[in-house]
Amino acid sequence: MAEGVLPAGHVARRLRITGRVQGVGYRAWAVETASGLGLDGWARNRTDGSVEALIVGEAAAVEDFIRRAHEGPMIAKVDGVEAMPAKGIVASGFVQKPTV
C-alpha cells in the first residue's frame, strides 16, 4: 500500500477519548474490540489523561468502533470521543502502545 493510500472502502480515524478512561482497562478494551472488528491500529494513554487511538479498516467497522468507544469498558466514564481523519499508516493488527 502506498503511503497514506487506503484500499477502497477503508478509512482511518485518529480518536481522542476523554473522561475517566485511564486505569480502567480502556486500552485493553480497545485492543479486544478493534481486533474483533478486524481493524488495524493502536491505542495509548496520553499524559493529559485521555486515550488516543488510530483506527484503520473498513468504513462500517471503523464507525462501529467509534460508536462503541463512547461507552468503552464497563468501569470507564467517557465524556467525549473526537474523531479526525488520519493517514492510516499502521502495521497489521491492533496493539496497545506506551503512554506519551
Which one-letter DSSP state was computed for residue 64?
H
Radius of gyration of the chain (CA): 13
31 located within any domain: yes
43 located within any domain: yes
- pTM across the whole model: 0.91
pLDDT at position 1: 37
pLDDT at position 4: 61
> Coil, strand, or helix at residue 11?
strand
Domain count, the chain: 1
pLDDT tens digits for 10-69? 999 999 999 999 999 999 999 999 999 999 999 999 999 999 999 999 999 999 999 999
DSSP output for 23-56? SSSHHHHHHHHHHHTT-EEEEEE-TTS-EEEEEE
67 located within any domain: yes
Segment 78-82 shows an average pLDDT of 98
Which residues are catalytically annotated?
Answer: 27, 45
